[in-house]
Chain A
Amino acid sequence: MGKTLFEKIWDAHIVVEKKNNPSLIYIDRHLIHEVTSPQAFDGLRMNHRSVRRPDLTIATMDHNVPTTDRSLPILDQTSAIQIRTLEKNCKDFGIQLFDITSHDQGIVHVIGPQLGITLPGTTIVCGDSHTSTHGAFGTLSFGIGTSEVEHVLASQTLWLDKPKPFEIRVEGKRKNPHAVTAKDIILSIIKNIGTAGGTGTVIEYRGDGISDLSMEQRMTICNMSIEAGARAGLIAPDEKTFDYLRDRKYTPKNYESLVDYWKDHLKTDSDAKFEKIYTLHIDNIAPQVSWGTNPGMTCDVTESVPSPEDFSKGDHNQKKGAEKALEYMDLKPGILITEIKIDRVFIGSCTNARLEDLIEASKIIKGRKISPHVRAMVVPGSQMVKKQAEDLGIDKIFTDANFEWRESGCSMCLGMNPDILSPGERCASTSNRNFEGRQGTGGRTHLVSPVMAAAAAIEGHFVDVRKMDLN
Chain B
Amino acid sequence: MQSFKKIKTVITPLDQVNVDTDQIVPKQFLKLVQKSGFGKFLFYDWRYDDQENLKSDFILNNEKYKNSKILVAGDNFGCGSSREHAVWALQDYGFSVIVAPSFADIFYSNCFKNGLLPIVLEEKIVEKLQRETGMIEVDLENQIIKTSSEEIPFDIDLHKKQILLEGLDDIAQTLQYEKEISEFEKQSKTPSVL
Contacts and interface: CB of A to CB of B under 8 A. Distances in A.
A438 B184 CA distance: 41
Given A36-B83, A321-B18, A438-B22, A155 B193 contact: no
Interface stretch (A13-21, A173-181, A212-220, A452-460): A13-21
Given A56-B192, A128-B82, A416 B105 contact: no
Nearest to A38: B33
Contacts of A321: 16-18
Interface in A337-361: none
B175 A155 contact: yes
A348 B17 CA distance: 28
Interface stretch (A22-30, A236-244, A368-376, A388-396): A22-30
Interface stretch (B24-32, B54-62, B64-72): B24-32
Contact of B109 (A148, A252, A324): A148
Given A39-B33, A147-B113, A157 B190 contact: no
Given A47-B171, A127-B82, A436-B23, A122 B104 contact: no
Contacts of B10: none
A47 B173 CA distance: 13
Contacts of A311: none
Contact of A437 (B33, B45, B50): B45
Contacts of A250: 193-194
Interface in B101-121: 102, 104-106, 109-110, 113-114
Contacts of A43: 171
A14 to B, nearest CB: 8
A183 interface: no
Given A35-B31, A81-B33, A159-B174, A320 B16 contact: yes
Contacts of A47: 171-172
Given A20-B158, A145-B84, A151-B170, A96 B32 contact: no
Contacts of B30: 35, 63-64, 416
5 contacts: A38-B33, A39-B84, A49-B171, A195-B79, A414-B27
B26 A437 contact: yes
B59 to A, nearest CB: 14
Interface of B: prevailing SS: loop
A357 B63 CA distance: 51
A254 B76 contact: no
A56 B174 contact: no
Given A53-B192, A231-B106, 11 more contacts: A15-B177, A20-B158, A24-B177, A55-B194, A64-B31, A119-B190, A142-B106, A146-B84, A163-B105, A196-B18, A196-B79
Contacts of A151: 170-171, 174
A35 B27 CA distance: 10
A101 interface: no
Interface of A: 15-16, 20-22, 24, 26, 28-29, 35-36, 38-39, 42-43, 47, 49, 52-53, 55-58, 63-64, 76, 78-79, 81-82, 85, 96, 117, 119, 121-122, 127-129, 142-148, 150-151, 154-157, 159, 161, 163, 195-196, 199-200, 226, 229, 231, 250, 252-254, 258, 261, 294, 317-318, 320-321, 324, 414-416, 423, 433, 435-438, 441
B27 A416 contact: yes
Contacts of B81: 128-129, 414, 433
Interface in B135-194: 157-159, 170-172, 174-175, 177, 180-181, 184-185, 188-194
A90 B32 CA distance: 18
A432 B17 CA distance: 19
Given A15-B181, A122-B190, A155-B174, A143 B22 contact: no
B184 A196 contact: no
Contact of B175 (A79, A96, A117, A154): A154
A96 B193 contact: yes
Contacts of B20: 294, 433, 435
A143 B82 CA distance: 6
Contacts of B171: 43, 47, 49, 150-151, 154-155
A173 to B, nearest CB: 33
B17 A117 contact: no
A29 B188 CA distance: 13
Contacts of A145: 82-84, 87, 106, 109-110, 113
B15 interface: yes
A85 to B, nearest CB: 5
